[in-house]
Structure 1
């Protein structure tokens, strides 16, 4: 990371940080992407089971990972302000917090998983696949949360290519184990969708071990001596982590969980509808990795500039990221509109599932533009460490506006299950508008503070 003085330099630095993050996010999501696709090729029941399991797991994982993402702006501002000596302690406390959070999830999950699945109106075979898929996945939960802390530290230094290489190394292994364990090749048992959970758990252990080795042995990370001194848990540092991280995690949770809530509400429909919805939402989520990656890159560069009190540069980076995300959203929105039928073939050979998936993807075009605004804006706000109001805005946009409206359209109009997607679009649009207003306010506030301090 370095200070930049021209738009050209800023574009170069943002791109240098963004592209590896994007490749990493696409690679991480590709694990779930291949889980879904390959399970769908095994049977519609396994596709639906993995869909239900993912709908329960993804919001929990992303929400708690969002808490750990607080390591990124904290470390970025420490480095931007020249205060590097506090970095090792911050990262180590993040690792401790990751272990505690993962243990809490496993304990709570052990009590609530079965009642939740039993309360859903789904076929027994689908219920069994969902339960066993989640149990298999849980064996990789602790290393996955630790990896998120290590990744946040690596990314905060601007070395996003490292996490990109780690992900690219692990992805083929995940696909191979999916193939072996889902379809029962080379003497392995044919586990169907459950095999996808086992393969993901193995992969989570792998990427964590690689990240630990990199941080411990490779420059510039080894210069911080993260694991050379094992400090005791510091609950004061945990407080800083959670004060920033909990609102970030809740904001992400409220956005991601609305998609999962829709999938769970759609359990009232037949299995092929659930399968088609999950296939479409899976591909739409794959595209969401683009604005999400821009969001993560903005947190790093904006945090770095704010830490160095370069408020004007932080503002330029913020809107540069939003503009770039909108441009890309228009491009892949057109691609999605034109090739939605071909995309559906990635997920299933069932004619009815194909038809429904293509129709769902038509609605996905609508909320891509809103995602392209609200995600980068949230990333910029995290760079300013402005997280509390953002969390409230996300809650209102997604759960007070989006989900109730979708439920009404789905159940009281002729749109049926597609009504939920219209509700999603409404919630994301509300979030894009309110969060953009918040970013404008924060930028104005920081500019005034800087003027007062310079007088």
Structure 2
């Protein structure tokens, strides 16, 4: 990436980095989106089963692949410091970490999914769908984790458009496979929720193969030769990755599990409530792709500037990212409030579920601003490699403040099921405030030391 001098140049640079990331995230998210949407049209029981399965799958996947995101600031800073020869070693060590994580999760799914689901109060049909969905998804674990390493490498070089192209190529395939396996087309049996899991797993393999071909054959990736001269696992290099990646993964895990925990707590209510909650959460997650993409862009941009010792530019990129996310949050709120009934009707024809979803959307609109602040601030902090304090703040905000608040409001006040969403708003708001304080403190410290 080129050094930028003016604010307008930085805005253009950020747009070039963030827009492809956003399109990539949306395309990846469409897999889960179509899983929920298409199983909702198949059966309400299958929709509830996929909802529970996703609530268990997403935090584990995002948390552990978050560990692999440690590669992004490492490579970004190496490129900013002109130390290209060290990139290959770190990427290869990332592959070792990814493979180990995938194997651990695969074994855990086989051994633990039955006892875990038995502890959740569910109808038998919903429990069976959730189990089959997770079994099928686990087929794609290894390629999914390995692709996460490749994508972190690609994005760290500032070539986010390449990740976008790879993902866009696979999204229509996932939709087509969903259609075949969920509804039983082309001579295949109708698998419902399990078919959605199988379609996603096969798509993960496709993404992985395509990414290998592109990185192996095309510049500037081919010049770094990440598949050549393989080194044996290095404790020091793996330690460097996990030292940065582990707090990132735990932080992401803490954030995603709070949403999954709320979904599981919702299982105490009716199938209609579970379905409505999942629809609201699914669409809200779609809107979250904007601040999340800006956050990922902030990590790359800030990482490059820090690696080149341009701390003033890193600070500018940090707050420019926050401003952009806040601006888009007002658009998200408008969409949720103005079109909530039409959006709910896309997911299901069940009028009771639609009515409940509309009510959930009102609360979803309230935490858009907090999301828009905390996401890019986290991304900027990762660019500075400041991750340990961040994950502590995340745990406190979401688990010590947010979830207990939601539980109390849901079980001891008239808010009932909506109390959990108020708890989410409180947790996200506290997270946004504490993370901003940390970023301001860090930037003042670096400015003082630089002077």
Normalising by structure 1, we get a TM-score of 0.99
Equivalence for 1:421 = 421
Q: CA deviation at 1:321?
A: 0.3
Counterpart CA distance in 1 for 2:450 and 2:212 is 39
Shift in Å at residue 416 of structure 1? 1.1
Question: Within the alignment, does 1:286 sit opposite 2:269 as a pair?
Answer: no
Whole-angstrom CA distance in 1 between matches of 2:39 and 2:404: 31
Is 1:162 the counterpart of 2:162? The answer is yes
Residue equivalent to 1:315: 315
1:189 maps to: 189
Counterpart-to-counterpart distance in 1, 2:112 and 2:449: 48
Contact 2:109/2:135 (<8 A) preserved: no
**Residue 113 (structure 2) pairs with residue 113 (structure 1):** yes
| Distance in 1, Cα, partners of 2:3 & 2:449 | 21
Could you tell me how far apart the structure 1 residues matched to 2:443 and 2:399 are?
Answer: 27
Q: In 2, distance between residues paired with 1:229 and 1:449? A: 39
Q: How does 1:206-355 map to 2 (within 5 A)?
A: 206-355=206-355
Distance in 1 between the 2:107 and 2:217 partners? 34
Q: How does 1:128-207 map to 2 (within 5 A)?
A: 128-207=128-207
Q: Which residue of 2 aligns with 1:375?
A: 375
Partner of 1:410: 410
SS in 2 for 1:140: helix
Residue 366 of structure 2 contacts residue 425 of structure 2 at CA under 8 Å; is this kept in 1? yes
Checking the alignment, whether the CA contact within 8 Å between 2:337 and 2:365 is kept in structure 1 is yes
TM-score (normalised: structure 2):
0.99
Please state whether the residue corresponding to 2:170 is helix, strand or coil: helix
Q: Give the whole-Å Cα distance in 1 for the aligned partners of 2:403 and 2:286.
A: 21
1:226-268 Cα shifts (integer Å, max 9, x gaps):
1021211112100000000000000000001100000001110
Which residue in 1 is equivalent to 2:7?
Answer: 7
Output the CA distance in 2 between the equivalents of 1:139 and 1:235.
29
For residues 129-177 of structure 1, what are the alpha-carbon distances to aligned partners after superposition, in whole Å with 9 as ceiling and x for unaligned? Answer: 0000000000000000000000000000000000000111000000000
Structure 2 distance, partners of 1:378, 1:437, is 11
C-alpha distance in structure 2 between counterparts of 1:396 and 1:377, whole Å: 17
Alignment length (residue pairs): 451
Q: Per-residue CA shift, 1:312-344, capped at 9, x if unaligned?
A: 000000000000000000012111101001000
Find the counterpart in structure 2 of residue 94 from structure 1: 94
Cα offset, 1:108, TM superposition: 2.0
1:450 deviates by: 1.1
In the TM superposition, structure 1's runs of 4+ consecutive aligned residues that sit over 3 Å from their partners are none
Aligned partner of residue 385 in structure 2, secondary structure: coil
User: What RMSD over aligned residues (CA atoms) do the two structures have, in Å?
Assistant: 0.6
* Matches for 1:49-60 after TM superposition, within 5 Å: 49-60=49-60
**Partner in structure 1 of residue 391 of structure 2:** 391
Distance 1:211 1:88 in 2: 16
C-alpha separation between the residues in 1 aligned to 2:138 and 2:110? 10
Aligned-pair distance for 1:106? 1.3
Shift, 1:282, TM fit: 0.4
- How far apart, in 2, do the equivalents of 1:171 and 1:258 lie? 28
Shift of 1:76: 0.2
Return 229-238 or 322-331, whichever deviates more: 229-238
Q: Deviations over 1:383-438 (max 9, x none)?
A: 00000000000000000000000000001111111110000000000000000000
CA–CA distance in structure 2, aligned partners of residues 245 and 101 of structure 1 = 13
SS in 1 for 2:346: coil
1:197-239 C-alpha deviation (Å, 9 max, x unpaired): 0000000000000111111111110000110212111121000
Equivalent residue of 2:339, what SS? helix
Which 5+ residue runs of structure 1 have no aligned equivalent? none
2: distance between equivalents of 1:298 and 1:101? 26
> Which residues of structure 2 form unaligned runs of 5+?
none
Q: What is the CA distance between 1:110 and its match in structure 2?
A: 2.1
